[in-house]
């Protein structure tokens, strides 16, 4: 698909055709199966200044927390008990967690559970040596969203950071043998349809194993508090387009979708997504992982909660999968 056509679909040229094509492809490659990823948000401390994010270091009103080794392992155990095939270890960019600490966690998970669980890291921009050591220790995947491929918008949204550095890291992750996930925020202030269309195209050129997109949700303790939310329909169009351009990739229906509208995550599954990522962060801190309003207000920090999410998936006609859910290889 060419840029112009992507842009026309983003602008609503033919939703019926777009959504049914997304659905058909998801159905063909994944059937009704929905892969689950249990996300352990183990620290909300972040040295970055991203304008859109409630965890940005300038937000002095947020109470900060860090989970220790045992607390992290308890959450991993919940993932395992819930028969979820992947654990995502996520935090702000928090240098407190050293190369050695993360390595120790990965090794402990491998020691306890062997290869019955996939380990995804989502720890922001870290050094080559760290990324290599964690891969060697047994991590399988890494998530690093670009947020947008527009250099000027990127610079504005992520002060002090350069798009090129981020793309370089994605390349490194690929070379190290990680399954790599990336993605964009739909409707970032300043994002035109042209920029979004280009983002979709660029994301699809990277050969990513996982591609996420979710609507922008303004957070009242950030400089973007006064802007409007990203558009739900455009977010759904983005998911369908990503599925069409990347039939084999894992595509989550993100929790930012759920912040916009209660059943929006199910709508995302219908038009092409095949992954849901419930937070399993302990109750006592989960509300503090407040990237955007509404984040972690539902979801799950007990076994019953996880079962509730599975029920939502089932009652929409999908099958919550217990598998590790690696990306599909082209045959
Ligand atoms: N609205 C929507 N998504 C956001 N993210 C961060 N802030 C926001 C926001 N205000 C997304 C980014 C980030 C991920 C953890 O959450 O894509 O990488």
| DSSP 3-state of 37 | strand
Tell me, in angstroms, the distance from the centre of ligand 1 to residue 294's CA: 12
Tell me if 324 sits within 8 A of 118, measured CB to CB: yes
Residue in the block written with tokens 């269309």: 197
Q: Show Cβ contacts of residue 186 under 8 Å, excluding neighbours closer than 6 positions.
A: 196, 213, 214, 215, 216, 230, 231, 234, 235, 238
Q: Is 52 in the pocket of ligand 1 (CB under 6 A)?
A: yes
How confident is the prediction along the chain (331 residues), in pLDDT tens digits per residue?
Answer: 999 999 999 999 999 999 999 999 999 999 999 999 999 999 999 999 999 999 999 999 999 999 999 999 999 999 999 999 999 999 999 999 999 999 999 999 999 999 999 999 999 999 999 999 999 999 999 999 999 999 999 999 999 999 999 999 999 999 999 999 999 999 999 999 999 999 999 999 999 999 999 999 999 999 999 999 999 999 999 999 999 999 999 999 999 999 999 899 999 999 999 999 999 999 899 999 999 998 877 656 677 788 889 999 999 999 999 999 998 877 5
Q: Is 191 in the pocket of ligand 1 (CB under 6 A)?
A: no
Domains of the chain: 3-321 (3.20.20.70)
Atom 16 (ligand 1): residue with closest C-alpha? 291
Whole-number Å distance, alpha carbon 53 to ligand 1 midpoint, is 6
Q: Write out the H or E segment, with its range, that includes residue 181.
A: strand 179-186
Q: Which atom of ligand 1 is nearest to the CA of 145?
A: 18
CB 214 near ligand 1, within 6 Å: yes
Cα of 298 from ligand 1 centre, angstroms: 17
pLDDT at 305: 80
Spatial distance between the Cα atoms of 213 and 275, rounded to a whole number of angstroms: 12
Atom of ligand 1 nearest to the CA of 224: 10
Name the strand (E) or helix (H) holding 228: none
| Residue closest by Cα to atom 15 of ligand 1 | 291
**pLDDT value at position 307?**
87
Residue 83's contacts (CB-CB under 8 Å, 6 or more residues apart) are 322
CB 147 less than 6 A from any atom of ligand 1 = yes
Closest CA to 224 of 287, 293, 288: 293
Ligand 1 centre and the CA of 290: distance in Å? 10
DSSP string, 240-279: HHHHHH-TTSB-BB-HHHHHH-TTHHHHHHHHT--EE--B
Say how far apart CA 161 and CA 223 lie, in whole Å: 17
Which ligand 1 atom is nearest residue 215's CA? 2
CA dist 186 and 182 (Å) reads 13
Closest CA to 269 of 282, 252, 289, 247: 252
Say if ligand 1 is within 6 A of residue 185 CB.
yes
* Cβ of 217 below 6 Å from ligand 1: yes
Whole-angstrom Cα distance, residue 205 to residue 266? 27
pLDDT at site 304 = 77
- Can you give the pLDDT at residue 296? 79
pLDDT for residue 298: 65
Centroid of ligand 1 to alpha carbon of 127 (angstroms): 22
- Please state, as a whole number, how many other Cβ atoms lie within 10 Å of the Cβ of residue 145: 19
Where do we find the tokens 């369908």?
240
Residue nearest to atom 11 of ligand 1 (CA): 185
For residue 242 and ligand 1, the question of a CB distance below 6 A is answered with no
């Amino acid at each position: 698909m060419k840029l112009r056509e992507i842009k026309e679909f983003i602008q609503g040229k033919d939703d019926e055709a777009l959504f049914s094509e997304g659905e058909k492809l998801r159905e063909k490659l994944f059937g009704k199966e929905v892969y689950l990823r249990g996300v352990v948000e183990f620290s909300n401390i972040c040295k970055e200044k991203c304008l859109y994010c409630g965890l940005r270091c300038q937000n002095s009103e947020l109470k900060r927390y860090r989970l220790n080794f045992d607390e992290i392992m308890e959450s991993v155990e919940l993932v395992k008990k819930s028969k979820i095939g992947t654990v995502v270890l996520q935090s702000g960019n928090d240098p407190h967690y050293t190369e050695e600490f993360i390595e120790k966690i990965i090794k402990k998970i491998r020691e306890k559970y062997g290869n019955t669980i996939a380990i995804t890291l989502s720890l922001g921009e870290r050094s080559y040596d760290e990324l290599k050591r964690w891969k060697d220790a047994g991590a399988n995947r890494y998530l690093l969203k670009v947020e947008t491929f527009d250099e000027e918008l990127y610079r504005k949204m992520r002060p002090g950071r350069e798009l090129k550095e981020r793309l370089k890291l994605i390349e490194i992750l690929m070379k190290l043998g990680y399954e790599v996930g990336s993605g964009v925020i739909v409707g970032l202030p300043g994002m035109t349809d042209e920029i979004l269309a280009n983002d979709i195209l660029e994301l699809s050129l990277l050969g990513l194993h996982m591609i996420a997109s979710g609507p922008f949700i303004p957070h009242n303790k950030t400089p973007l508090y006064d802007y409007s939310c990203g558009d739900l329909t455009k977010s759904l169009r983005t998911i369908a387009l990503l599925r069409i351009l990347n039939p084999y990739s894992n595509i989550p229906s993100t929790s930012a979708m759920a912040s916009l509208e209660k059943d929006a995550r199910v709508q995302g599954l219908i038009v092409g997504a095949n992954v849901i990522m419930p937070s399993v962060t302990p109750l006592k801190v989960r509300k503090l992982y407040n990237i955007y309003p509404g984040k972690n207000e539902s979801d799950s920090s007990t076994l019953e909660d996880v079962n509730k999410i599975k029920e939502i998936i089932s009652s929409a006609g999908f099958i919550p999968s217990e598998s590790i859910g690696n990306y599909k290889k082209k045959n």
